[in-house]
Amino acid sequence: MLILGGTSEAAQLAVAVTKRFGSNLKVTSSLAGRTRVPRPVTGAVRVGGFGGAKGMATWLRAKRVDMVVDATHPFASKISDNAREACDAEAVPRLVLARACWQPKPGDRWFTVSDLDTAATLLPDMAKRAFLSVGSQRLESFSSVRGVHLVVRMIDPSPAVLSLMDHTVVLGRGPFDIEGERDLLRREKIDTIVSRNSGGAATYAKIAAARDLNIPVVMVAPPAREMGESVGSLEKSLRWVETQIALHRGAQS
Ligand code: NAP
């Protein structure tokens, strides 16, 4: 089994399948290699790109992979597209373990936009100090923003000079709690947040803190992706794995 990971859900899945299926299932988790010191993942781990959909297809064939669970981040659309193409080409069953998007609650002041470029164009009219929680790989969209101080959170310090005009970097890795997020927003005098609607619990605290402090959030909707078979919970993905094992055994006997 291959788990496409880099998320807390993928790490939890690796623990759960190892616990439930033990030596009946050989599990490898795949990470892109973006963070310097990734959190430990149970079982075998491979790091780095496959070389596109074709490279992944070759890998699936070489490792005789029987099933793939795509538990990547909802904004990591390239790897998900590649997984769909590679699994289709190699006739390997694939499941997407997808998070539900966050939904606005009473008191939230969300401005939903379709992409980061649109978020960047809104900022000068609404913010003096904006908190960008958009992933360190996606900051180029904000390089032409003028007149707004940008507070950027990233896991590791950037090896390159950021192409942002006026900015501060804060380092941090989720999960974050609401008290910490409230402190950060107050300390940095944030008047607007830009966030991707990633769903999940690990990074939701800033949204709850924004609601408490009456701070508007420019919320970027996730890219549409062709999921195929998908589930929203760990338990359901375990059931899918169980079914795949049974089908595989049936095909072999
Ligand atoms: P992406 O744009 O969808 O992928 C770009 C390329 O990175 C892919 O074509 C692939 O290279 C490689 N790649 C991505 N995920 C991989 C994985 N799990 N294993 C092996 N190669 C992978 O992805 P991204 O947005 O840069 O995110 C990279 C990883 O970080 C993902 O695994 C994702 O789950 C995790 N993550 C992303 C975010 C985010 O904000 N986007 C947040 C939290 C975690 P090749 O084409 O060479 O195979």
Burial class from Cβ neighbours inside 10 Å (0-12, 13-18, 19+) for residue 174 reads middle
Ligand 1 neighbour 73 (Cβ under 6 A): yes
Is 155 a member of any domain? yes
- The reply to whether 213 and 239 lie within a common domain is no
Cα of 160 vs centre of ligand 1, distance in Å, is 19
Q: What is the pLDDT of residue 161?
A: 83
Ligand 1 neighbour 30 (Cβ under 6 A): yes
Closest atom of ligand 1 to 80 CA is 3
Is 122 a member of any domain? yes
Nearest CA to 190 out of 219, 153, 150, 162 is that of 150
Is 105 a member of any domain? no
Query: pTM for the full model?
Result: 0.92
- The reply to whether 207 and 133 lie within a common domain is yes
Ligand 1 neighbour 75 (Cβ under 6 A): yes
10-residue stretch averages of pLDDT, the chain, 253 residues long: 96 96 94 90 96 98 98 95 97 96 97 97 97 90 96 90 92 94 98 96 96 98 90 96 92 82
- The reply to whether 137 and 80 lie within a common domain is no
- The reply to whether 215 and 239 lie within a common domain is no
Closest atom of ligand 1 to 56 CA is 48
Distance CA 30, CA 122 (A): 36
Is 33 a member of any domain? yes
Distance CA 85, CA 30 (A): 17
Distance CA 152, CA 193 (A): 10
Ligand 1 neighbour 72 (Cβ under 6 A): yes
Domain at 41, CATH number: 3.40.50
Q: What is the pLDDT of residue 41?
A: 94
Cα of 35 vs centre of ligand 1, distance in Å, is 11
Domain at 130, CATH number: 3.40.50.720
- The reply to whether 245 and 207 lie within a common domain is no
Number of domains in the chain: 2
Distance CA 75, CA 195 (A): 12
Give residue 132's domain range. 110-220
Is 243 a member of any domain? yes
DSSP assignment of 57-108: HHHHHHTT---EEE---TT-HHHHHHHHHHHHHHT--EEEE-PPPP---TT-
Note whether 122 and 112 are within 8 A (CB). Answer: no
SS3 state at 10:
helix
- The reply to whether 61 and 128 lie within a common domain is no
Ligand 1 neighbour 222 (Cβ under 6 A): no
- The reply to whether 195 and 244 lie within a common domain is no
Note whether 44 and 26 are within 8 A (CB). Answer: yes
Q: Which residues pair with 133 in a beta bridge?
A: 195
Q: Peptide bond preceding 175: is omega within 30 degrees of 0, i.e. cis?
A: yes
- The reply to whether 242 and 212 lie within a common domain is no
Q: What is the pLDDT of residue 36?
A: 86
Cα of 125 vs centre of ligand 1, distance in Å, is 32
